[in-house]
């Protein structure tokens, strides 16, 4: 089971990577825009901090352009960078070609199980179904994960990993993992929330205060 960070903020990657449990990072053009920084520099810095797969997204919309961009990114960036392409027919062509060249591809913007299946057949390393964006339009995003995992369980020959994306809260992460999702990518605040419980905080407070009493009494 892999936990990825969904961010283009290098300091956030550094923080979560320092916990020792970060398996990879996903970015997208909107996250790069939010960072206000140069795309390749950001990806390079992230890839030097985290040695798991780092997704860098192409912006060409035709297969030829996606393939060229993918190859250029692979050449310019560290080895652990993989190429993210949109789930369109042109994206499938690019996925097939890039995968056959040994380049890892993450097919993104998946909103139904048939898209996931097609991307897997094209040789994707990861397929990224978007849970939260389906919730946003009144669907149950988790149902999509459940459907995909059910299909995957019937076809053990599928080696493509299901990467649950557009995660909005810690419960989404746990639901995805309960369904057997290989990977979940989430923003930094969700990583922090996954490690947070008020009883842990109050428990520490009480232990420290009792220990201070022990020291005051000279019994330490
Ligand atoms: C995944 O790779 C995407 O970058 C991301 O999960 C999208 O999430 P959003 O719907 O919160 O933008």
**Closest residue by CA, ligand 1 atom 1:** 165
Confidence of residue 220 (pLDDT cuts 50, 70, 90): confident
| pLDDT for position 63 | 98
Other CB atoms within 10 A of residue 210 CB: 10
Q: Ligand 1: which of 3, 6, 129 to mutate, judged by most atoms within 8 Å of the beta carbon? A: 6
CA pair distance 169, 172, nearest whole angstrom: 6
* Each residue's pLDDT tens digit, 3-19: 999 999 999 999 999 99
* Each residue's pLDDT tens digit, 110-156: 999 999 999 999 999 999 999 999 999 999 999 999 999 999 999 99
Average pLDDT over residues 31-38: 98
Task: Measure 213 CA to ligand 1 centroid, in angstroms.
Answer: 48
| pLDDT for position 3 | 98
**Closest residue by CA, ligand 1 atom 10:** 166
Average pLDDT over residues 49-74: 98
Task: Measure 132 CA to ligand 1 centroid, in angstroms.
Answer: 8
Long-range contacts of 142-146 (CB under 8 A, 24+ apart): 142/172, 142/175, 142/176, 142/179, 144/111, 144/112, 144/113, 145/175, 145/176, 145/179, 145/181, 146/179
**Closest residue by CA, ligand 1 atom 9:** 166
**Closest residue by CA, ligand 1 atom 8:** 166
CA pair distance 199, 202, nearest whole angstrom: 5
6 lines ligand 1 (CB under 6 A): yes
Task: Measure 55 CA to ligand 1 centroid, in angstroms.
Answer: 12
User: What is the average pLDDT score of the chain?
Assistant: 98
CA pair distance 150, 85, nearest whole angstrom: 24
| pLDDT for position 208 | 98
181 lines ligand 1 (CB under 6 A): no
Task: Measure 165 CA to ligand 1 centroid, in angstroms.
Answer: 6
Confidence of residue 199 (pLDDT cuts 50, 70, 90): very high
Asked if residue 219 has pLDDT above 90, the reply is no
**Closest residue by CA, ligand 1 atom 6:** 166
* Each residue's pLDDT tens digit, 163-186: 999 999 999 999 999 999 999 999
| pLDDT over 90, % of the chain | 99
* Each residue's pLDDT tens digit, 154-169: 999 999 999 999 999 9
Task: Measure 201 CA to ligand 1 centroid, in angstroms.
Answer: 30
* Candidate list 40, 79, 84, 96, residue with the active-site label: 84
Among this protein's residues, is 64 annotated catalytic?
A: no
């Amino acid at each position: 089971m892999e936990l990825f960070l969904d961010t283009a903020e290098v300091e956030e990657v550094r923080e979560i990577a320092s916990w020792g449990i970060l398996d990879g990072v996903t970015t997208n053009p909107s996250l790069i825009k939010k960072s206000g920084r140069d795309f390749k520099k950001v990806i390079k810095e992230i890839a030097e901090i985290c040695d798991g797969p780092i997704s860098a997204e192409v912006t060409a919309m035709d297969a030829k352009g996606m393939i060229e961009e993918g190859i250029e990114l692979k050449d310019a960036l560290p080895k652990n960078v993989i190429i993210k392409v949109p789930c369109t027919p042109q994206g499938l062509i690019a996925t097939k070609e890039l995968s056959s060249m040994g380049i890892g591809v993450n097919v993104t913007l998946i909103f139904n199980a048939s898209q996931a299946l097609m991307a897997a057949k094209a040789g994707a390393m990861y397929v990224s179904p978007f849970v939260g964006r389906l919730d946003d339009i009144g669907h149950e995003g988790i149902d999509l994960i459940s459907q995909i995992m059910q299909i995957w369980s019937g076809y053990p020959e599928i080696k493509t990993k299901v990467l649950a994306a557009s995660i909005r809260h810690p419960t989404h992460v746990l639901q995805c993992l309960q369904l057997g999702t290989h990977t979940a990518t989430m923003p930094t605040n969700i990583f922090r929330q996954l490690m947070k419980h008020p009883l842990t905080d109050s428990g520490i407070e009480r232990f420290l205060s009792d220990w201070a009493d022990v020291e005051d009494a000279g019994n330490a």
